[in-house]
Each structure stands twice: as C-alpha cells, then as structure tokens.
C-alpha cells in the first residue's frame, strides 16, 4: 500500500514571497503519478500541478513548481510570488498506474497543509 506524508500541518507566508510545501511518499510501484491539489475555503478541490514519475524534468505551472526527487520519494511544491488567493489547504496525492498507462488507480492523499498568505 502507498502512503503519503505531509509533515507541515500549517504554513504561513507574506504576500509576494516564496513558500515550499513538503511531501514524501512510500511506494514499491515504479509507474505512478504525483499531484498537488488545493482546497480553498470554498472547499472546491482544484488541481495545481501533476508529475509523471518517469519524467525527470520537474513540472511547472506558472507560479507553481515541484521538486521531484524520485530516489528520495520526495515531491515538494514551491509557490512563488504568493498571492492572497493562494490561501488554501494543499494536498499531495499519489496514483499508481499499470505499465503502458492503460489503467489508473485511486488517489492516496496526504494529511494536507493549511497555507495562509498574509498581506
């Protein structure tokens, strides 16, 4: 079974600064995806970024980037130029898939990190 650990229950950052959220996972699978989702106060889950395990290049989406260290099983999220709208609970998640990518497993979530951006 897979486990995902987010060791930071709460984080805070000043507007326009950079913050990094940590995530580690444990798996014996070789083919998988990693995700970061955000859940703002509205409670709508929003996909932030996605990383395919076989890709060495770190994924980026505008102000969001990841530091994917496969050997260390680490998948941290960096938010640059933090904005008030980034205030949310952030979840790291793991999904395995079969070789050839023909079927996909369920998401395993971490405990979440509450991020507050201060003006």
- Confirm or reject binding of residue 98 to another protein (CB under 8 A): no
CB of 44 to another protein, least distance (A): 5
Contact between 38 and 90 (Cβ < 8 Å) = yes
Helix, strand, coil distribution of the chain in percent, nearest 5: 5, 50, 45
Beta-carbon contacts of residue 76 (< 8 Å; ≥ 6 apart): 20, 21, 22, 23, 66, 67
CB of 32 to another protein, least distance (A): 9
Q: Which of 42, 24, 51, 35 is nearest to 88 (CA)?
A: 42
Which residue lies nearer to another protein by CB, 10 or 81? 10
- Confirm or reject binding of residue 63 to another protein (CB under 8 A): no
- Confirm or reject binding of residue 38 to another protein (CB under 8 A): no
- Confirm or reject binding of residue 1 to another protein (CB under 8 A): no
Contact between 100 and 31 (Cβ < 8 Å) = no
Which residue lies nearer to another protein by CB, 50 or 70? 50
CB of 62 to another protein, least distance (A): 17
Residues found near another protein in the complex (CB under 8 A): 33, 35, 37, 42-47, 50, 89, 91, 95, 97, 101, 104, 106-107, 109-112, 114
């Amino acid at each position: 079974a897979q486990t995902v650990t987010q060791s930071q229950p709460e984080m805070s950052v000043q507007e326009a600064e950079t913050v990094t959220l940590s995530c580690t996972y444990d798996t014996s699978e070789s083919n998988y995806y990693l995700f970061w989702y955000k859940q703002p106060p509205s409670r709508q889950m929003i996909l932030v970024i996605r990383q395919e395990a076989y890709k060495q290049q770190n994924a980026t989406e505008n102000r969001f980037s990841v530091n994917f260290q496969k050997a260390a099983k680490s998948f941290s999220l960096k938010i640059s130029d933090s904005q008030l709208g980034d205030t949310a609970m952030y979840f790291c998640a793991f999904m395995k898939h079969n070789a050839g990518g023909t079927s996909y497993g369920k998401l395993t979530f971490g405990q979440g990190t509450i991020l507050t951006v201060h003006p």
